[in-house]
Structure 1
Amino acid sequence: MSISPDSTNQRRRLPGSDAPAQAPSGRGLPRHLLGKLATTPTHPAITVGETLLLPLLAVVLGLAFAPQDPLLTQAAFPWPWLVPVVLALRYGPLAGLGGASVLLACWLGLNVGHWDVFPQLYFLGGLILVMLVGEFSSLWQARARRAETLQLYLDQRLEHLVRQHYLLRLSHDQLEQELIARPMSMRDALKELNQAGQDAHGAGPTPQQLLRVLSQFCQLECAAIHPVRDARPQAQPAAILGACDGLKADDPLVQQALRTGQLCHINQAVSAQQDTLYLVAAPLVDLAGDMYGLLVVRDMPFFALQQESLQTMQLLLCYYTDSLSMQRLAQPIVSQVADCPPRFAFELQRLAHMHRETQVPSVVVALEFRPQALKQDLPEQIMRLRRELDEVWPIEGPERQVLAVLMPLGTSGTAEGYVRRLEAWMQHRSQQSLAEAGIFTHVLPLDGAAPLRTVERLRAIAHA
């Protein structure tokens, strides 16, 4: 029996990874050529060089075509002013003013002894035009940066939700077959990974624990996880299973996995008529695109090398790398407030960073439950009413309980709408207001400078 190329080559892609395994060799003009030409360089020297050289080039062209009036101060249209206008559109008002200053210096240098005929309206109109264009450019550059930041955040949340949904779907669809053919289910594997992270005091599961779960669930016999630094896998493995004798970094399957950032298996190398030492090579990449390590599988049962095992292997690796990213970002808060959930701290840190960079607001609604509300189990019922994007943190106090609801990209209006919805739900449920039922609301705008201060304020409400 042999592996079918048709069935293996057409493997299902993971959620959020629409790119093919190998980048096609493009023919003709490269894609997004106009976008690359319009991209603003980030190095300051390039900006300064363009600000100085482009106006000088305009003056040189003016000397070539109109030596008696190189700046075209008497022409029907002041063509040299197009250069400061373009600079203001591209870099903002400061670059436009710099280009205008070069034109002014050139006029003064070309008209030594004739400064009494200075074209005031010519330069005044040009400066007004440059300032208007520069202000327009600054406004839309700020809007573009804000939109890109929002889109990046929403894309990451969407990819995380797609992965979670696919995990749930795979677990339910394959539950009966997995219980028969495999020693553990997907839910058991994820539970073991989470338990390993809790046993490590919030540091997350180790690579060896991940490899043990993969060996049980995907039937690996000889495999290793190698750390990746600067896009290069290290020779010393972080975890090893079986008799693996080091990493062959120039292996075509390893190079393909590092290049594409996706799981690659032997049938891809065989179809390309390349010899490889490994059966599977899979990079450990999180939602932000950071690569933590590389899993190489040298030996596994023949019947285990099939579509479902490869997909399950990739999903477990994604789950592991996402947990590493979350633990790393949430660590400053979790180390100070041990009972704060890592996911809540992770989202708090991410949204605080977004607030610092783009001033996009977020808000935390703290619902304070008095004893009469706790007797009716209202916290559990209200927790089911949260939005999909919201993160919740139930905080136990000596005499009360606080349910902190973190609302990404929300304002005070969002919090008011949420409170009104709870008021309507409470009126429909028991003909009472929130205050009469023993629920009091606190709205805390997210402070981008110190998210830890928001956590301390939440705990202060619970322990008041």
Structure 2
Amino acid sequence: MATESAHKDFVLAPRASGQVSWIETILLSVVVIALGYWLSPADPLLVYGTFPWLILAPLLLAVRYGFMRGLISALILVAALFAYRASGLGLYAELPASFVVGVMISTMLIGEFRDIWERRVERLDLANEYRQLRLDEFTRAHYILRISHDRLEKRVAGNDQSLRSSLLGLRAKMRDLPRGEAAISVLSESILTLLAQYGSFRVASLHKVNADHSVVLEPLSSMGEVRPMPADDLLVRQCLKQGQLVSVREELMERGENRKFSQYQVCVPLKDTEDRIVALLAVEQMPFFAFTQRVLSLLMILCGHIADLLQTDQQTLQLADMDAQDFSKQLKRSLNDAVEHDLEAHMFAIEASPGEHRDALLRLVEDSRRGLDVQLRVDNERGNPCVLVLLPLTSADGGQGYLTRLNGIIHERFGLDQSFESLGINIREFDISGQGGRESLRRFLFNECAINDQQVAI
């Protein structure tokens, strides 16, 4: 067995190899023949004794070195037998055929048996070495994963901002802007920092886009050592023409050929729900591990929400409750996110029947609004007041959490024995996903909730 194997080698003496093993085979065979002649000159091979002890030499060599060397040792014994017979040794005048056949067959069987097991052990050694190699690779990969996980934990622990909270913070900054100032100019640095947080890019710039879809070459804000934007950059032209995120192919980046077409790797338009492009994000350097469909889709979603905020007028931002125009805009944005990026949103229609607690219940629902939630209070065609609650970037499970929280508030206010039904509250919900689309949302609002198109525009 190989000494470098992971298994323990249990042989009493290390085996020789090559010429040394052949010398050992011939020398041992000659020594036992000489020893037999010294012990019994009349029967030097001990053929007619109680046991032919000299056959142990080829048997041991067959066990130690395998078939070939054992066979050579057996042939030496048989050759010695014929030599003694030819020299006139009377005891061997009649050829002992059983001795010759027995020595040859037993030696070949033991040698072949030994070779078979050596091949099996070699295969096991190879399999074990492969497993050891894979284990070493797995150990290194696990160690790297542990380090990456620890770094990610530290990064997440140091950054408590989610997508919803980031957009909410940007909305708060816009609300504090002085009247008459362009939000895109004042908040360009904050917007670029927010986008870099989710895109992980190192060198990028944010450019204003005019109403005629011409880009201002001078950046509003930049990070890293950005180069001047060319007036005819191919990626910028395609981005403005299509109104969608445009990036170079990954294989071009791997070969370093992307510079032939554009100095940028990614261009993202800040486009609102009315297809108006407010600004353009041009990324020059982005880590390859971040250059994935998931990250690029997240950038497109975030840029769309930021564009909606930038296009919202100051009076709407100052309102405590969102009006129908803002609600419709946010609803369109959530629908676009669901259709184009498979990003869910959830909506509730809370209708209050006539009763003594109706006004208090509606105020309770309106006061339960969270940061990015959008509400609109209207009277439906059944004559009942209705509060439409839109939960952007929220799945169906998140919607159920909102209902659970609202139910807990009602229990605190009106008692544990009260429920939505007992208080005359009828709740309808709709999951905004990419499957139903715009027509399903229209049927929900106009048919089930009895809302008309003058109250909510889809």
| Range of TM-score over shorter length | 0.3 to 0.5
TM-score (norm 2): 0.38
TM-score, normalization by structure 1 = 0.38
Larger radius of gyration: 2
